[in-house]
Structure 1
Amino acid sequence: MSLRLRDPGRNNGVAPEFTVDPKLLDAVSPSGDRGGIVVGSGLNGEPLTISALRAMPTRIVLVGGLYLARQVALRAMAVGAWVVIATGRPAAWQVLPQAAGTGPNGRPSPLAQIRRLSPVELPRPSEDAPLLVVTDGGPTPQDLFPPRSPWQTTVYVLPYLHPQATTIANAADIVLMQRLPVGQAELAARIWRLPPQMMRQLTTLKDDQVVALGANLWRPLRLVTTAKEQQLLGPVRRGD
């Protein structure tokens, strides 16, 4: 099973349409395929989208800083997903509830929920309300919320690659990697059996560049950001 990186200029089929407040969509996300998340642009500036919210359990691994992880979570929320963040650093994720705002009753919107790194009951995902669970548990996270049902996607945020995270890394449908130091790139090459040229490319990525890796997929791309995202997250960067 693999995730496709989708070019909106091509006929990739029709993904489901999710209902979300248009103001939220305009505020935090550039437009993209229905049901997809825009992760960056290609060499010609075309938006590239991953079908991260779909009718099957999905795993995504992010290797890099919090900036990338929070941007992916914001964009999932903008296309109608519930987002649950399990983290040991809740202050770093307050931008999600801030972006979600409040409901008609004046209480915080339930679209974004921050939880501890311990098992909790999750919202039940559906086609109309997909679920993105972010596990921000360090380089060797526990698999607390493996995706078990359609319309649930679990994102594992790895600040760096660790040999003990090999099982989680290998189980991913897609991996988004930012620049790695040489030792980390060598480990990535062993985990995913990358040739030397790809391994070297991982060490030379710019701060705004990411490689999307999956089955039969190696796609360098450039992160793009909206004005509202810059207000929430600051400029595009490699670190947190």
Structure 2
Amino acid sequence: MSSSRIAYSQRGDAGVAPEFLVSPAMLDVVSPSGDRGGMVLGSGMKGEPLTISVLRSAPTRVVMVGGLYLARQVALRAMATGASVVIATGRPAAWQMLVRAAGQLPDGRPVPLVQIRRLSPVELPRPTEDSPLLVVHDEGHLPHDLFPPRSPWQTTLYVLPYLHPNATATANAADLVLLQRMPVGQAQLAARVWRLPPPMMQQLTTLKDDGVVALGHNLWRPLRLITTKKEQEILGPVRRGD
């Protein structure tokens, strides 16, 4: 089965993520894998895998409007590529399963692949092509810009439980937006923010629990989440909420 890459860019060349080496146990969690660093996010209308380049050779912003399940899945798949993941959150217990999924070193300490931090400015690991960085900013519907991506190979994922009128600047600055099902009022706001025609606005209100729309510059791509059995053992069943 062929795979399609979701290409997106608002600042020129999107760049392509490299391949990374991680433990077989971690790789075994996520299957099928994307091509050359691409992250399989879901499947298209014909069942073909769709990949996105979340980790790129350019500072990248991704905004997700929806539940924690999708945010955790993106973080888990970034871990499987060998990326470092820093999660800034006010609800650390909600992310502990990713620390457990990363495994332990021979001396019993957690593998330092995932760090859970408070919602305050901190020094971040320096991202490189061989060691990219995903920062998950889980602050709620009005995030402060504490960890803007400033260098190549850093991606900041803003996790918004819903779209707020005062968060439109954050949403508009994104290179990629991932949208889950919305109530009518939220879909109407999304239509105003991104100038969506009525059929697209309506589609946002009818997505299933495993439905996502990838939105970007000249991009509107509905897809269905692909979740493996081992991912479900870590994250639980696919769901729209938290």
Which range is displaced more, 114-123 or 13-22? 13-22
When the two chains are superposed, the root-mean-square deviation of aligned CA atoms in Å is 1.6
Which range is displaced more, 89-98 or 31-40? 31-40
Aligned partner of 2:116 among 111, 114, 117: 114
Q: Which residue of 2 aligns with 1:224?
A: 226
Instruction: State the Cα distance separating 1:104 from its structure 2 match.
Output: 2.8
Partners of 1:57 and 1:22 in 2: CA distance: 29
Which range is displaced more, 105-114 or 216-225? 105-114
2:86–2:136 Cα contact (<8 Å) kept: yes
Structure 1 residues without counterparts, runs of 5 or longer = 7-11
Q: Which residue of 2 aligns with 1:9?
A: none
Instruction: State the Cα distance separating 1:231 from its structure 2 match.
Output: 0.6
Instruction: State the Cα distance separating 1:73 from its structure 2 match.
Output: 0.3
Aligned partner of 1:161 among 151, 155, 163: 163
Partners of 1:199 and 1:98 in 2: CA distance: 38
Q: Deviations over 1:60-101 (max 9, x none)?
A: 000000000000000000011100000000000001101101
Aligned partner of 2:58 among 56, 59, 64: 56
Aligned partner of 1:40 among 24, 39, 42: 42
Q: Which residue of 2 aligns with 1:85?
A: 87
Identity of aligned residues (%): 77
Partners of 1:69 and 1:113 in 2: CA distance: 15
Name the SS of the counterpart of 1:94 in structure 2. Answer: helix
Q: Which residue of 1 aligns with 2:32?
A: 30
User: TM-score normalized by structure 2?
Assistant: 0.93
Partners of 1:164 and 1:29 in 2: CA distance: 38
2:17–2:57 Cα contact (<8 Å) kept: no
Partners of 1:230 and 1:68 in 2: CA distance: 12
Q: Deviations over 1:152-202 (max 9, x none)?
A: 000000000001111110000000000000000000001101011100100
Which range is displaced more, 100-109 or 201-210? 100-109
Task: Indicate yes or no: 2:26 matched with 1:21.
Answer: no
Count, aligned residues:
233
Instruction: State the Cα distance separating 1:32 from its structure 2 match.
Output: 1.1
Alignment of 1:1-240 (within 5 A): 4-5=6-7, 15-240=17-242
Which range is displaced more, 230-239 or 213-222? 230-239
Which range is displaced more, 188-197 or 29-38? 29-38
Equivalent AA in structure 1 for residue 44 of structure 2:
G
Instruction: State the Cα distance separating 1:218 from its structure 2 match.
Output: 0.2
